[in-house]
Amino acid sequence: MMGFEFEFEREFCVVIFAILGASFGSFLNVVAHRSIEGRPWWGRERSICETCKHELGFWELIPILSWLCLRGRCKNCGARISVRYLLVELITGIAFASIIFRHGLSFETLLACVGICGIMINSLTDIETGEIFDAYTLSFVILGLLLRIYWGFDAILDGFFGALFGFGIFALIIILSRGGMGWGDATFMSGMGALLGWKLAILAFYIGIMFGGICVLILLLIGKIHWGKKESVPLVPFLSVGCYVAFLYGDVTSSLLFSFTRSACSKNTNEIISGNTAIQIARSCKNLLMNVMIADKECDVISNCEC
């Protein structure tokens, strides 16, 4: 009976968070779109159809369902509504639901859901225009550090070093590549690092870069981008995948990764020690052989003198 109640409560929470996530996705769509156009996303300005300027009613603003019921078209003029709105609502809803399913009703869930919002808003602006707004990325640095107050000073320090790593690794890449990447990627990863902490920030960076590299290779193979041409590929969506994995399974994945790294380093250290020991033995044998040869020569000299 208790097991049934727990399952019911968990499933109920998953549904609620899926709806909440879809609602946040709808809101973030508006924030990203208006930020790109330089319009305020706060205040009393209502959502409208971009084609006929028809003011959208309540039933036209229900996440996912409105798009499906209207079949992706404006109710007033029949103009197409971008499928991006539907996809963002679906992705955000699924992300929120998976987080609550994984972590339950906890402070980790709150932190991760804040991170999901940061992932979505910055990915949308990066995909749309290649621009990342510092106001959004830096606000997540502040939010991450403030939320970590719940766990105490060590957690705040962990978030600080996560932000430092996220910004520092991209700053290093930008300096070494002489502008091969944008500073927006650095500030984005700084915000995510503050939320994740330094260990999970390393994990998110690694997964994001590897995933991005695989996707770029596929795009090269199918001819969507061309080698040697200066074609920019948005990096934040790939980093976002790494951040999402870190929020969802970071505790397990980081433990495996760091234990593997530790064992690999230990193995390499043993091999180095073994190698040094072998060198020392070889040198000792060489010295012994030289001493034997010198002693043999001395004996020959003594024998000749006696003769």
**Residues in the chain, pLDDT under 70:** 1-8, 179-180, 228-231, 253-307
Give the pLDDT score at 98.
95
Give the pLDDT score at 266.
56
* CB-based contact 112:243 (threshold 8 Å): no
Residue 146 CB partners (closer than 8 Å, separation 6+): none
Give the pLDDT score at 257.
63
Average pLDDT, the chain: 82
Q: How far apart are CA 280 and CA 217, in angstroms?
A: 47
Give the pLDDT score at 254.
60
Give the pLDDT score at 258.
59
Give the pLDDT score at 66.
92
Give the pLDDT score at 271.
46
Q: How far apart are CA 46 and CA 237, in angstroms?
A: 28
Give the pLDDT score at 150.
92
Predicted model pTM: 0.79
Give the pLDDT score at 282.
45
Give the pLDDT score at 198.
93
Give the pLDDT score at 53.
83
Burial 28-46 (b: 16+ CB within 10 A, else e): bbebbbebeeeeeeeeeee
